[in-house]
Amino acid sequence: MAEHNGTWWIWKVFWILLVITGVEVVLGIIKPEFLLTQVIGTSILNIVFILLTLVKAAYIVQIFMHVKYEKKAMKYALYLPSLILIPYLTFILLTEGSYLFS
């Protein structure tokens, strides 16, 4: 790729992904007390896990899959359907799931 020289940018993303996964595993094993407070139907810890996951996903898609360097039309074609449909589906199903017993 024209924007990059060498392979340092690949290893940079590797270290970011590795450190985030490491943090997730450590948090998952020790489960710090102060992160177990319940907010919007789940614990702060779970929200932290989901945010870290989205950061990892963003690095994989943007850098490893090169989307960051694609044309704007291509970005819209890929991001709009996924960023609208997936959160929508998640919202609908999780909300319904909580009502299935009532």
Partner 1 sequence: MSSNADLIQDTNHWGGGSRPLGARYGKLMMWFFLLSDALTFSGFLTAYGLMRFKYESTWPIAENVFTHFPGLEGDQPLLYVALMTFILIMSSVTMVLAVNAGEKMNRGAVTNWMLWTIVGGFIFVGSQAWEWYHFIIGDSGAVETARQEILHVYNAEGERLSFSQVVHGMEEGHASNHGETFTKAEVLSSMKGDASLYLKEPGKAGRAFTHAESVAFLEAGDVVQGANMIHNEYGRKQFANFFFFITGFHGFHVFSGVVINFVIFYNVLLGTYERRGHYRMVEKVGLYWHFVDLVWVFVFTFFYLV
Sequence-distant (6+) residues with CB within 8 A of 55 are 20
41's torsion region: left (phi>0), alpha (psi -120 to 50) or beta?
Answer: left
Please answer whether residues 66 and 1 qualify as being in contact, where contact means their C-beta atoms are separated by less than 8 angstroms. yes
x/- string (CB under 8 A) for partner 1, residues 7-26?
x--xx-xx--xx--xx-xx-
Please answer whether residues 24 and 16 qualify as being in contact, where contact means their C-beta atoms are separated by less than 8 angstroms. no
Among 19, 23, 32, 64, binds partner 1 (CB under 8 A): 64
Nearer CB in complex with partner 1: 32/90: 90
Residue 36 CB, nearest approach to partner 1 (Å): 11
DSSP string, 26-44: HHHHH--GGG--EETTEEH
Residue 23 CB, nearest approach to partner 1 (Å): 11
Which residues sit at the interface with partner 1, rule CB under 8 A?
Answer: 1, 4, 7, 10-11, 13-14, 17-18, 21-22, 24-25, 28-29, 42, 46, 49-50, 53, 56-57, 60-61, 64-65, 70-71, 73-74, 77-78, 81-82, 85-86, 89-90, 93-94, 96-98, 100-101
